[in-house]
Structure 1
Amino acid sequence: MKHLLAKISFIILTIILFISCNAIKRVQSDELLLKENTIFVNGEKLKEARIYNQLYQEPNAKLLGVPIRLHFYNLAKPNPDSTFQKWLQKKPNREQRLNNIYSRKQVEKLGQSYVNINEGIKKAGEAPVIIDDELTKKSVNRLKSWYFNNGWFNAETNYEIKPLENKKGEVDYFVTTHTPYIVDSIRKRIPSLVIDSLYDAYKHESIIQSGIQYRTLDYNAERDRLTRIFRNNGVYYFDQEYISFEADTIDTNYKVNTTVIVNNRQVEQGDTTARVPFKIHKISQVNVFTDYTFENRYKPVTDSVQYNGYNIYSFAELEYKPRAITDAIFIRPGEIFKDTDRTRTYNRMSSLRVFKYPSIEYTPDPADSTSTDLVANIFLTPQQKYSLGFDFDISQSNIQEFGVGFGGSLLIRNVFRGAENFEISGRGSVGSSSDAARGSSKDRFFNISELGADIKLTFPRIFLPFNTEKFIPKYMSPFTSLSLGVSAQNNIGLDKQNLNTILNYRWTPSRTISKRVDLLNVQYVRNLNTDNYFNVYRNSYSNLNEIVQSPEVVTSPTYLDEEGRLIIPGGAENFIRDVTTGDPQTSGLSPNQSQEVNNISERKNRLTENNLIFASNFTYLINNKENLYDDDFSRFRFKVEAAGNFLAAISSLAGLKKNEQGNYNIFGVNYSQYIKTELDYIKHWDWGNKNIFAVRAFGGAAIPYGNANSIPFIRSFFAGGPNDNRAWQAYDLGPGSSGGRNEFNEANMKLAFNAEYRFNLIGALNSAIFIDAGNIWNVLDIVEDEAATFTSFADLKDIAIGSGIGLRYDFNFFVLRFDAGFKTYDPSLPMEERWFENYNFANAVYNVGINYPF
């Protein structure tokens, strides 16, 4: 390991020495390459990135101190056209000979290709940042403006350019702030009585407060706040331009005396303009056109209905129940105008997936002599009633070497005329896996398969027998979904059939918060090929045979084949039965061997038993990511799930008898009973220039009780894989320090922590350096293996650590990701050998994924 690190260090140093000479390749003799900017504020060196962002010039982006993109840019020829012509003319008759072999046109295309390649290299790289005196002066002025806008009105700024060796230079910026100005008195000048009363009513929420340092951004935010207040309290014609501020600082002893000015509305009266006071406007009518299109805009309305004060029109036969339309509209007849009502109507109508983005127009009511009434016209354009979708993908994983997936879906909108959506979908896949069950399928390339189908009905309301409007109002966009799904897996694991049904409610109290309740989440899993268990889980089978072949162990010869190995399934199952029940046919096992057989028996029983999960769960999500391109955000998710309590109550009330193990059976299945919680936090920091630092923390536990002493496989946790600890493949890590001895390692407790620094390499090619930590453990369940269980905080020493590097290519609509993870701290090894023992490319794990891991 030491020799490997020495070689890597030597190679890195050699590369750095080589490319450092190339950094100034395109820098002229009278130019200086910008090496560093330094800002001194009142004589002290500043480190705040937000202030350095004010500068017009920044040094070339670096990775580990090396400006890689600059060196890539320097690979391009500065004048490729003339360089090609020079090469073409370098040897006599070269141009004529090429013209004879190809043609003059092809030779010209060759020259253009050479130019395009060099231009592509320049575009992907980064030109050297040359110190520009004019831009430096602009940076000085911008610094002064920044400090002025933050209350230092008398700030002084200057700069110094410091030449260095090898045509490089640094720029030092100097700022003397002097005494900051503090907001003192706040007055108002508002001639409109309507605006004046609204201002007074919300004055206590003002962002501008006496005693705080002046900030221009506070005044801008206050202008936005006042505009929202006025426009959400009936002042339809109000605009931000009517608000201004006067800041008096003359002879005030560093105090800012502020006057808030809100001018009257400007209107045209003939050829002149005049100022008139603002008025409160209310909605007199709401007209809804349910099937508006550009083609029928001049056609007459043929169907209409009035409902709860709304006028609903259609150019053909009305296809929607009136309530389905009005429930999605927040603009109400008789109420004052509010901007938020219009925004909520936009959002709710779009979320229904029945209409395209609506158009809402307000016009003065011609029947109103006071000029305060507005007519709201809402134009809805329906989407196609039927939509078909098809999917096709190719996949690869540590379980499946090659797979092909396909699927299709049918969406029927407004199925019951109440804006309900009905979806039918089917999916299937075939793949090749070396982990597939042994047998005739093993010899086929496509030896695993899955088929499934789902139906889903969605209602645009909370579907309960009582009114939920008081605690889940309709502006929270409530939905109810009822789904039913079936699937069947063949030749992977034990072959399974899966049936699930979900009754789900979801709503969004705000832009950043969403909530979801699965009132019913029922899943039934049936294992079809349990006799094939030891053909699938070969590690367990090998461990049994090692015990059987120990000299001290005696067992029935009928359990063994000609090679002395346990016969599948009967021999292996009989051997386990003998050991766990103490049958004298099998003897001679050591305590450790007996414990190993018990562990194998427990795992086999758990993975081959059928599962009935009757659960309810609640998910709370906070996500302040504003859009797809927002790289500075946080996300927090909390989920709690309880299973089996309803069935336990029914079993007890019905007087059902327990089986020999003391458990209730429903339809011949021991139903699961547990409580499960998950906490997941993600944070991204945007450091500028495509430099992003991202972290994630996850913790989860599922505790069985009552009718169960373990967690179903499908509800347990696993570790490793492209979105977890990337130094281990999925299901290969843990539990604890046990070393991942099973094919699919899982447990009922998990901790995971990830940190990743992402940066740009060239053009759309990005890279990352990451550290992953975490593991899984068994806790408060049937597993007794000390290496796999979590009994105290001392077991945190078994947290595995992986580190590595990755490449990401950004296709705009998705990111293709390649990561190489190295085992940095391996808890499966002896304590003194855990650090960097297998830290090499031979033992690295390579992951391919779509989009970022978190």
Structure 2
Amino acid sequence: MRNTITKISLFILIGILISGCASEKKVPNGKKLLTKNEIQVNTKKEKRELIHNQLYQKPNSDILGYHFRLNLYNLAKPKHDSIYKAKFIANPEKYKRKSKWLSAKQVNRLGESFWYAGIHEFLMKSGEAPVIIDEKSTKKSTALLKSYYFNNGFFNTKTKYEIDSISAKKAKIKYTVNTGNAFFIDSLQTKILSPELDSLYNSKKTSSLIKTGNQFKSEDFKGEIDRITSHFRNNGIYLFQQNYINFEYDTINKKNKVGIELKINDYSYREGDSTKTKPFKAYKISEVNIYTDYKASKTKSEKKDTTKITYNNFNVFSKGELKYKPKAISDAVFITKGSLYSDIKTNLTSRYFSNLKVFNYPTIQYDFDPKDSTQSALIANIYLTPRKKFSFGTSLDFTHSNIQDFGIVATTSVSIRNIFNGAETLDIAGRGNIGNSKDLANPSDSFFNVFEYGVDMKLNFPRIFMFFNTDKIIPKSMIPTTTFNVGYAKQRNIGLDKENFTSTLSYNWTPKRNILARFDLLNIQFVKNINLGNYFRVYSSSYNTLNTIARENLPTDSDFFDEKNNLIIDSKTNEFLTSSLGNNPTIILNDVDRKIVNSINERKIRLTENNLIFASNFTYTKTTKTDFNDENFYSFKTKVESAGNFLSLMARASKQLNNQDGSNTIFEVEYSQYIKNELEFIKHWDLNRKKIVAFRSFVGIAIPYGNSNSIPFSRSYFAGGSNDNRAWQSYSLGPGRVAAFNDFNEANLKIAMSAEFRFNFFGQLNGALFVDAGNIWNVLDNVTDEKAVFSGLNSLKDTAVGSGFGFRYDFNFFVVRLDLGFKTYIPSEESNKKWFRDYNFSNSVLNIGINYPF
């Protein structure tokens, strides 16, 4: 460990020294490289990123103090073409020799190759030119600082700067800011010329962001302009824009006080060569026209050729016979006849139609109604462009796993839109997988000796299907949908050759723009294991442990072993388990071995039994992420699942007999009964200049009860892998401090936390430093091994820690990720060997993933 830390420290030190020597390389004589900005506000040092971001000139970017991009730039030779020519001018004979076996043209073109030219162009493009101190830019920075504090109520702010030389070509800039006293709002007056606007403003006056006694802040005034504009435009004031709002400030004869006057002018418009004004007024919707076959190239005159249907005060136009049920179209429209104009209703209508996946994003336009004598009516025109009725998709992937050495996965899908004329969508997908596994029996000696196939169907309805009306609970403004899924998959020579049937009936809605809710009324999964005799070939670690114990307790000539003295799969492995366990064992084991064999047997029984899961669950997700590029947000997700209660009632009602273990069965299959809860929290901090800190925490627990004393494998938790603790492979960590001898380790309690520092190298190439912590444990189930059981806060000392670094290449539409994880704290090791026991490249784990882990 000491040698490792010494090497790392030496590497970092050498890097710093090289950086220090190279950073001035391309700084012109008489100029200074900007190394640091210091800001002192009212005699106190200011470190906040928000304040430093006001500066116009900033030092070169760095990665933990190392100026990577600056040094890349300094490695480039800007005059590489002249350098190439110079070596031939200095040595003409060399040019002649090269021209004989290449040609003069090829020798000249060699100077434009990547080695002579391209590499330097790449370094300059990917690198970062040195930031040279420029006094014009520095003065601009002082002006920006002054403006920032002025906008926060410090009207008498004074700023100055000083360039402090560090060496002949290096300097830092010290900015000094004296803010003076802050100004506070002592009065708010209003002058709103249009009576209708004045009435609307006063109806929501208490919601104003401008309040007497508050410190003056420009952002409050921007927010107030947005609030007033939104309030007016959502209450019929169709013609209103932000530029009609003005604030006037009065500080005359006021000590650190400012009086505010809000002015909102009348509507102005051009008439001939003159500009006129008139009071604003509210507009109502007189007609709503919906065009279901709109094309951008279509002219208004072509509307005469369409068929018109009037339904619930909506005029629905179509080319020929209407292909949609009128209710399916009208349910998506929140703009209603007789209502006031509203931006919210317009946006909600656009979102709803877009969410249907039957139309492209709609176009909504408003025209003044020429038949309205009061000139305060609007006609809403909604133009819908249908997507194609059918769409097809295919994909091909190559895979590798611990079971398949090589696999090819092909999928094909078809989407059918508006299948029942109610804007429903039906997706049908088929998938097939063929692969090779050298560990499986292959009597025909064929390369592809494993395969899997499956089919999935998803039917989506743009409404809630329930036996009672849910409009009051989940109104259509929440854009509800109902989805019915059915899936079937079958495996051959993969694991235990499972047949898997799944079905879900789920409801989705959005209570608010940044909140998603999902309720699975039915979530059914039936797993049937066909090739039970393959168990110990799949779970080879369990077999190796059992084989070792058998060798130690049976004679070498026993018929339990094959010619290589290995326990025979499957007949003798099962016989050994039966003979060494139970009340009257014929093979006597010591307590330790008996405990291990019993654990292997219990796990085998659980993983080979058929599973019937009949569950319901509710998922709630909230995020503050505004768009794809937002990197300063948090998200929260919780899920509650309950399984087996309905089947328990059915079993009692049908008087199903218990099996030998005393558990109830349905169709001769023991059903699972448990309750499960998960919590996940993700937070991103944007440090600017493409530096981001990301954090994730997760807690999940599944508690068996009633008909079950354990959790089905498909619903249990595992640790390790590219999106978890990256220093361990998937399923290889835990549970607890157990030195895992199973191939697929799982448990029913999981705690995980991860933190990443993400940064940019150059262009689309990014890097990350990360720390992952967490583990899985057993709790309130049939596992009794104290090393695996969570017994309270004291068990948190068995939390595994991994750390490492990674590279990400951003292709814009997806990110390819490589992470190298190192085992930092190994809970299963002895107490003096837990930290940095395997902290080296030979024991590291390489993870390859798509997109970020969180």
TM-score category, normalised to shorter length: over 0.9
1:48 aligns to what?
48
SS for the counterpart of 2:808 is strand
In 2, distance between residues paired with 1:448 and 1:807? 34
Contact 1:292-1:315 within 8 A present in 2 as well: no
Greater shift in the superposed pair: 532-541 or 283-292: 532-541
For each residue in 1:473-530, what CA deviation from the matched residue of structure 2 results, as whole angstroms up to 9, or x when unmatched? 1111111011100011222221101001110100112221000011100010000100
In 2, distance between residues paired with 1:442 and 1:191? 91
1:187 aligns to what?
189
Deviation at 1:585, TM superposition (A): 2.1
Runs of at least 5 residues in structure 1 that lack an aligned partner in the other structure: none
1:839 aligns to what?
839
1:248 aligns to what?
250
Q: 1:584 to 1:259 in 2, by over 3 A?
A: closer
Deviation at 1:100, TM superposition (A): 6.1
Q: 1:400 to 1:775 in 2, by over 3 A?
A: farther
In 2, distance between residues paired with 1:108 and 1:414? 64
In 2, distance between residues paired with 1:22 and 1:153? 44
Residue 535 (structure 2) aligned to one of 529, 533, 536: 533
Q: 1:560 to 1:583 in 2, by over 3 A?
A: farther
Matched, 1:360 2:364: yes
Deviation at 1:102, TM superposition (A): 4.7
Matched, 1:369 2:363: no
In 1, distance between residues paired with 2:444 and 2:724? 30
In 2, distance between residues paired with 1:97 and 1:713? 72
In 1, distance between residues paired with 2:140 and 2:561? 87
Q: How many residues align?
A: 850
Contact 2:288-2:336 within 8 A present in 1 as well: yes
In 2, distance between residues paired with 1:442 and 1:727? 39
SS for the counterpart of 1:292 is coil
1:415 aligns to what?
419
Matched, 1:326 2:330: yes
Contact 2:287-2:379 within 8 A present in 1 as well: yes
Counting only pairs closer than 5 Å after superposition, residues 496-645 of structure 1 correspond to structure 2 as 496-551=498-553, 557-562=558-563, 564-587=565-588, 589-645=589-645
In 1, distance between residues paired with 2:445 and 2:743? 21
In 2, distance between residues paired with 1:575 and 1:786? 25
Deviation at 1:788, TM superposition (A): 1.2
Q: 1:442 to 1:685 in 2, by over 3 A?
A: farther
Deviation at 1:848, TM superposition (A): 1.1
2:226 aligns to what?
224
Deviation at 1:428, TM superposition (A): 1.8
Q: 1:136 to 1:432 in 2, by over 3 A?
A: farther
Contact 1:748-1:779 within 8 A present in 2 as well: yes
In 1, distance between residues paired with 2:18 and 2:306? 80
Matched, 1:482 2:484: yes
Counting only pairs closer than 5 Å after superposition, residues 271-290 of structure 1 correspond to structure 2 as 271-290=273-292
Runs of at least 5 residues in structure 2 that lack an aligned partner in the other structure: none
Deviation at 1:559, TM superposition (A): 3.9
Residue 135 (structure 2) aligned to one of 114, 133, 136: 133
Contact 2:403-2:494 within 8 A present in 1 as well: no
Matched, 1:699 2:699: yes
Q: 1:218 to 1:532 in 2, by over 3 A?
A: same
SS for the counterpart of 1:549 is helix
In 1, distance between residues paired with 2:269 and 2:11? 74
In 2, distance between residues paired with 1:164 and 1:288? 70
Contact 1:682-1:696 within 8 A present in 2 as well: yes
**1:237 maps to amino acid:** L
In 2, distance between residues paired with 1:190 and 1:96? 87
Taking structure 2 as the reference length, the TM-score comes to: 0.97
SS for the counterpart of 1:170 is strand
Q: 1:144 to 1:398 in 2, by over 3 A?
A: farther
Counting only pairs closer than 5 Å after superposition, residues 46-445 of structure 1 correspond to structure 2 as 46-92=46-92, 102=102, 106-113=106-113, 114-297=116-299, 298-299=301-302, 300-433=304-437, 436=439, 438-440=440-442, 445=447
Contact 1:559-1:566 within 8 A present in 2 as well: yes
In 1, distance between residues paired with 2:397 and 2:562? 44
**1:53 maps to amino acid:** N
SS for the counterpart of 1:139 is helix
Q: 1:34 to 1:397 in 2, by over 3 A?
A: farther
2:759 aligns to what?
759
**2:36 maps to amino acid:** E
SS for the counterpart of 1:212 is coil
In 2, distance between residues paired with 1:379 and 1:535? 61
SS for the counterpart of 1:786 is coil
Counting only pairs closer than 5 Å after superposition, residues 629-708 of structure 1 correspond to structure 2 as 629-708=629-708
RMSD: 1.8
Greater shift in the superposed pair: 440-449 or 216-225: 440-449
Deviation at 1:362, TM superposition (A): 0.5
In 1, distance between residues paired with 2:835 and 2:156? 57
Deviation at 1:104, TM superposition (A): 5.5
In 2, distance between residues paired with 1:442 and 1:74? 62
Contact 1:521-1:615 within 8 A present in 2 as well: yes
**2:586 maps to amino acid:** Q
- Percent of residue pairs bearing the same amino acid type: 50
In 2, distance between residues paired with 1:676 and 1:301? 58
Q: 1:654 to 1:291 in 2, by over 3 A?
A: same
In 2, distance between residues paired with 1:416 and 1:381? 18
Q: 1:177 to 1:565 in 2, by over 3 A?
A: same
**2:84 maps to amino acid:** F
Q: 1:700 to 1:309 in 2, by over 3 A?
A: same
Contact 1:555-1:575 within 8 A present in 2 as well: no
Q: 1:689 to 1:510 in 2, by over 3 A?
A: same
In 2, distance between residues paired with 1:776 and 1:57? 49
In 1, distance between residues paired with 2:701 and 2:79? 63
Q: 1:173 to 1:444 in 2, by over 3 A?
A: farther
Deviation at 1:98, TM superposition (A): 5.3
Contact 1:26-1:74 within 8 A present in 2 as well: yes
In 2, distance between residues paired with 1:851 and 1:442? 40
Deviation at 1:616, TM superposition (A): 0.4
Greater shift in the superposed pair: 602-611 or 503-512: 503-512
Deviation at 1:166, TM superposition (A): 4.5
2:25 aligns to what?
25
Deviation at 1:296, TM superposition (A): 4.1
Q: 1:131 to 1:644 in 2, by over 3 A?
A: same
In 2, distance between residues paired with 1:117 and 1:844? 32
In 2, distance between residues paired with 1:776 and 1:218? 48
SS for the counterpart of 1:788 is coil
In 2, distance between residues paired with 1:211 and 1:792? 51
**2:262 maps to amino acid:** V
Greater shift in the superposed pair: 537-546 or 325-334: 537-546
Greater shift in the superposed pair: 268-277 or 5-14: 5-14
**2:339 maps to amino acid:** E
In 2, distance between residues paired with 1:555 and 1:332? 87
In 1, distance between residues paired with 2:585 and 2:352? 71
Taking structure 1 as the reference length, the TM-score comes to: 0.97
Q: 1:584 to 1:412 in 2, by over 3 A?
A: closer
SS for the counterpart of 2:516 is strand
**1:569 maps to amino acid:** D
Contact 2:580-2:586 within 8 A present in 1 as well: no
In 2, distance between residues paired with 1:731 and 1:276? 72
Deviation at 1:449, TM superposition (A): 2.7
In 1, distance between residues paired with 2:163 and 2:404? 60
Moved over 6 A (4+): 553-556
In 2, distance between residues paired with 1:339 and 1:813? 31
Deviation at 1:711, TM superposition (A): 0.6
In 1, distance between residues paired with 2:797 and 2:29? 58
In 2, distance between residues paired with 1:559 and 1:172? 82
